[in-house]
């Protein structure tokens, strides 16, 4: 059994995903080599999803998977409350997404529906845009309250886009997408995605695309009907009062909380009241994360998992950095 003294801030091998809509920004902007794939639509940076288990990339625990480490260190890694609720199933999934083309119009089920149909968690998620081509857009929610009947009428007559809320996007924009919200990431966007640990997606419309073998991708029209939230909301884009060298709250949900840290100097983060691991996802610059003598470097395109055992986190930088700080409430 691994000695517990070797628990430290953890980095993981990136899992690369080729997608029909993927591009080259993962390599061109984030500097991550996804060869031999033709493109890379997603990187999974921290994942406990079965079949896509993250492996530690450095240090004494190198090569071990997230569930293996959790089974050894339990609440010292994830926190007592988190371990009691999820056991060795890691509750979050951290991704970077490069959309060279529009993703499909889609929706994710909530916890109840996902449990019944797939024995899975639901999928509420957030997006932080850190690069956007000029004119880039995305879809989040309906542009007015609708109904199941009206939605199906618009879908079946190829007019669904008329019902959807389209947002123009620039770097720094942030969106929270609770399960049930219709959405898509538009072409020209590179973003960080923080979500519940689930890979359940209902594809509603795929712009009649065909893959390399001439086939259209499967749609999940019937499954989506019960999963959709047909209401309309005024707060699709999170209003962020950006503030340098201060901790700025972005998302506060029942599934995770995320803050934006944009600092030109170092900072000490104290999480003594947080019964959870903390994940730092770097979207600009670079820094060193130190806990009780263990130092880990982080730079744009990396994520680091700080175990709950280390409630005091020292972050030092020479260049400045911008990071997302995420933990369970």
Hunting for tokens 């609440």 — which residue is that? Answer: 75
State the catalytic residue, choosing from 117, 203, 217, 269. Answer: 203
User: CA-CA distance, 76 to 307, in Å (whole number)?
Assistant: 7
Query: Any catalytic annotation for residue 144?
Result: no
Q: Which residues are catalytic?
A: 203
């Amino acid at each position: 059994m691994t000695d517990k003294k070797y628990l430290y801030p953890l980095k993981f091998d990136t899992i690369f995903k080729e997608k029909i809509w993927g591009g080259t920004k993962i390599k061109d902007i984030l500097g991550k080599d996804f060869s031999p794939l033709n493109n890379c639509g997603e990187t999974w940076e921290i994942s406990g999803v079965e079949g896509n288990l993250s492996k530690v990339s450095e240090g004494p625990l190198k090569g071990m998977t997230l569930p293996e480490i959790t089974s050894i260190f339990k609440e010292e890694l994830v926190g007592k409350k988190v371990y009691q609720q999820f056991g060795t199933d890691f509750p979050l999934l951290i991704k970077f997404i490069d959309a060279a083309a529009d993703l499909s119009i889609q929706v994710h089920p909530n916890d109840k529906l996902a449990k019944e149909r797939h024995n899975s968690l639901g999928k509420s998620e957030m997006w932080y845009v850190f690069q956007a081509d000029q004119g880039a857009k995305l879809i989040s929610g309906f542009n007015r309250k609708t109904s199941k009947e009206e939605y199906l009428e618009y879908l079946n007559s190829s007019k669904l886009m008329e019902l959807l809320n389209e947002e123009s996007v620039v770097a720094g924009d942030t969106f929270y997408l609770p399960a049930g919200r219709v959405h898509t990431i538009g072409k020209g966007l590179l973003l960080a995605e923080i979500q519940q640990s689930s890979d359940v997606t209902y594809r509603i419309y795929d712009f009649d695309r065909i893959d390399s073998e001439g086939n259209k991708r499967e749609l999940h029209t019937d499954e989506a009907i019960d999963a959709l939230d047909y209401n309309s909301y005024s707060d699709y884009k999170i209003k962020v009062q950006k503030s340098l060298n201060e901790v700025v709250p972005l998302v506060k949900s029942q599934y995770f909380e995320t803050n934006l840290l944009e600092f030109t100097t170092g900072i000490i983060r104290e999480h003594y009241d947080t019964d959870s691991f903390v994940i730092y996802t770097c979207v600009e610059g670079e820094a060193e994360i130190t806990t009780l003598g263990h130092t880990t470097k982080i730079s744009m395109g990396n994520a680091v998992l700080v175990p709950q055992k280390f409630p005091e986190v020292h972050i030092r930088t020479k260049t400045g950095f911008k990071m997302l700080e995420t933990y369970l409430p």
